[in-house]
């Protein structure tokens, strides 16, 4: 079976006015959300917060599993984008839901100032260490951004097999951040809930304001 070229799939989607509007609204929103989030995360590093008593973390000593954690994260992100490149509508939906989730994270962090667990082993992003500012964030708590992002990708995957793979990635990342005491257990526990809410909000907005004609997606229902 010969797969259609990715460019052809996007050109077919672009013929839908609803899809064009989605893209033109989503891209600026994504840029703004990322800029606001990055500045917010830097700001809260100087804020004093509370330390939570976490019975789960008290059961085991932290271990540095940074490279395993980011192995799951980057494999999930790169693999997710490659898979979604063949599903334009799902790809745009993923970015839309991520924007909504960023809003949820900012509100949640603003309302719940927290200090990291005292036993935390800092999770240093190798990409940021090499190409970014090198600053390690420790107060981006409640809720876990890494766990929620991968769960969001799980929700938008096009097949059962890919959803199983991404669910394993979510489980791996959640386990690793807890092993390293990077997050409180409540951060990880509620992350899928917020991701699912963001996904449903994005879908509802699309259905209400940016419907896409099914002819653009003959093999699957538009998201």
User: What pLDDT digit, counting tens, does each position of 51-104 carry?
Assistant: 999 999 999 999 999 999 999 999 999 999 999 999 999 999 999 999 999 999
Does residue 218 sit within a domain? no
Asked if residue 219 has pLDDT above 50, the reply is no
pLDDT at residue 221, as a whole number? 53
Each residue's pLDDT tens digit, 130-179: 544 556 788 888 888 999 999 999 999 999 999 999 999 999 999 999 99
pLDDT at residue 6, as a whole number? 86
Contact (Cβ atoms closer than 8 angstroms) between residue 83 and residue 153: no
Asked if residue 5 has pLDDT above 90, the reply is no
- In terms of pLDDT, which residue wins out, 49 or 100? 100
State which residues form the domain around 71. 6-210
Each residue's pLDDT tens digit, 38-47: 899 889 988 9
Contact (Cβ atoms closer than 8 angstroms) between residue 84 and residue 97: no
Does residue 106 sit within a domain? yes
pLDDT at residue 137, as a whole number? 80
Does residue 223 sit within a domain? no
Residue 158 burial by Cβ neighbours in a 10 Å radius (0-12, 13-18, 19+)? middle
Asked if residue 223 has pLDDT above 70, the reply is no
The model's confidence at residue 218, banded by pLDDT at 50, 70 and 90, is very low
pTM above 0.85, yes or no: yes
Does residue 134 sit within a domain? yes
What's the total number of domains in the chain? 1
pLDDT at residue 126, as a whole number? 66
Backbone angles phi, psi at 114, to 5 degrees: -130, 150
Radius of gyration of the chain (CA): 19
Asked if residue 190 has pLDDT above 80, the reply is yes
Contact (Cβ atoms closer than 8 angstroms) between residue 78 and residue 149: no
Does residue 221 sit within a domain? no
Contacts of 211 (CB under 8 A, 6+ apart): 18, 222
The secondary element (H helix, E strand) that includes residue 148 is: helix 145-156
Does residue 82 sit within a domain? yes
Does residue 117 sit within a domain? yes
Which pair of tokens denotes residue 126? 């190798």
pLDDT at residue 64, as a whole number? 94
């Amino acid at each position: 079976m010969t797969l259609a070229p990715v460019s052809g799939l996007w050109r077919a989607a672009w013929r839908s006015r609803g899809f064009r509007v989605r893209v033109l609204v989503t891209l600026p929103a994504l840029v703004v959300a990322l800029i606001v989030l990055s500045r917010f995360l830097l700001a809260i590093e100087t804020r004093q917060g509370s330390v939570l008593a976490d019975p789960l973390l008290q059961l085991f000593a932290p271990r540095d599993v940074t490279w395993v954690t980011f192995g799951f994260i980057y494999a999930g992100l790169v693999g997710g984008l490659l898979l979604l490149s063949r599903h334009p509508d799902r790809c745009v939906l993923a970015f839309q839901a991520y924007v909504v989730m960023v809003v949820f994270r900012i509100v949640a962090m603003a309302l719940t100032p927290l200090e990291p667990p005292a036993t935390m082993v800092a999770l240093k992003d190798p990409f940021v260490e090499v190409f970014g500012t090198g600053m390690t964030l420790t107060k981006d708590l409640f809720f876990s951004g890494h766990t929620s992002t991968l769960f969001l990708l799980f929700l938008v995957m096009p097949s059962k097999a890919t959803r199983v793979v991404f669910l394993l990635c979510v489980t791996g990342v959640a386990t690793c951040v807890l092993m390293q005491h990077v997050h409180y257990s409540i951060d990880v526990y509620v992350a899928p809930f917020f991701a699912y809410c963001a996904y449903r909000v994005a879908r509802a907005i699309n259905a209400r304001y940016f419907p896409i004609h099914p002819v653009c997606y003959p093999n699957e229902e538009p998201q």
